[in-house]
Amino acid sequence: LPELLARAVAAEASDLHLVAGEPPRLRVQGELEPIPGVLPTGPAALDSMLAAILPPHLSTADRELDFSHTDREGRRYRVSAFM
């Protein structure tokens, strides 16, 4: 996930969209774009990725997640995930 977030910053994306079985996508200037060279994320990998950053009031058992994440450098991200 840190690599995906770094690519979101580099692309000046407003959102990172994660859907099990599909390649991750970035919202850049209002348009959803797949991240070049990144393969689809399977359900188990997506679950593991998200479990590390989910706010305490959310669970990977939820089918749709929309939350923000702040990294160690203080950068804030909006994350949408569909399990």
Please write the tens of the pLDDT for every residue from 24-79. 999 999 999 999 999 998 989 888 888 888 888 888 887 888 888 888 888 888 77
pLDDT at 71: 84
Model-level pTM? 0.78
Give me the count of residues in the chain: 83
Give the residue among 63, 59, 69 at the shortest CA–CA distance from 15.
69
Q: Is 2 left (phi over 0), alpha (psi -120 to 50) or beta?
A: alpha
Contacts of 77 (CB under 8 A, 6+ apart): 5, 8, 16, 68, 69, 70, 71
pLDDT at 32: 94
pLDDT at 79: 79
